[in-house]
Amino acid sequence: MATGLLRVLILLLLCAEAVAGTSKQISKRTDPLVRTLEAVYAKSMEVALTGDVDAYWQYRTVASKERPPMLNRERLQLFAQMLPPLDALQFVRMDTSRGMARALYRWPRTDMARYTVIVFRNEQGEWKIDSIVVKTDIVSNPREAEMMEELRRRAAAEQSSN
């Protein structure tokens, strides 16, 4: 009985090591996977600028269609205009595991740290975009931080009055 339990534990450990071993971090923009995924993103943004919603969703995962933002022609074009092309951003790194890649890019801003995080998933043999998130770190300039806090207070007060 103890031998069987020991065999199961060893098997579980080996499986865990195999899964952990499939993840890696890429730090060079010239890596073939990075270039492939950047091309997927670029094509999706080209299509988004045209406002062709159906064509745009061909570059996104099935799951992403169910999450906000809900896009129509006008919103899709606005969304694409808000995001800079990846070649205008500094590539930081890409974390990958089986069927998933998470790319991190830094915006060229000196007044604040802003990042774009793009998650790609492999669906039926094709890389597709699962999510695009832009994150901004806390403003380090005290005056700007004060202004941001005032804007947050006003927005909260406005929201609670509605």
Residue 27: what residue type?
Answer: S
Q: Which fold has domain 29-144?
A: Nuclear Transport Factor 2; Chain: A, (3.10.450)
User: What is the chain's pLDDT, residue by residue, as a tens digit (162 residues)?
Assistant: 545 443 544 444 444 444 445 789 999 999 999 999 999 999 999 999 999 999 999 999 999 998 888 899 999 999 999 999 999 999 999 999 999 999 999 998 776 788 999 999 999 999 999 999 998 876 566 666 676 667 667 766 766 665
pTM for this predicted structure: 0.72
Residue 148: the pLDDT is: 65
**Residue closest to 134 by CA, chosen among 116, 118, 158, 156:** 116
CA dist 29 and 32 (Å) reads 8
124 is written with which tokens?
A: 């039926």
Burial of 100 (0-12, 13-18, 19+ CB in 10 A): middle
> Tell me, what's the pLDDT at 17?
45
3-class secondary structure, 79:
helix
Domain boundaries, the chain: 29-144
- Write the CA distances from 32 to 36, 39, 92, 149, integer angstroms: 6, 11, 15, 43
pLDDT at site 42: 97
pLDDT at 68: 85
* Model pLDDT, residue 13: 47
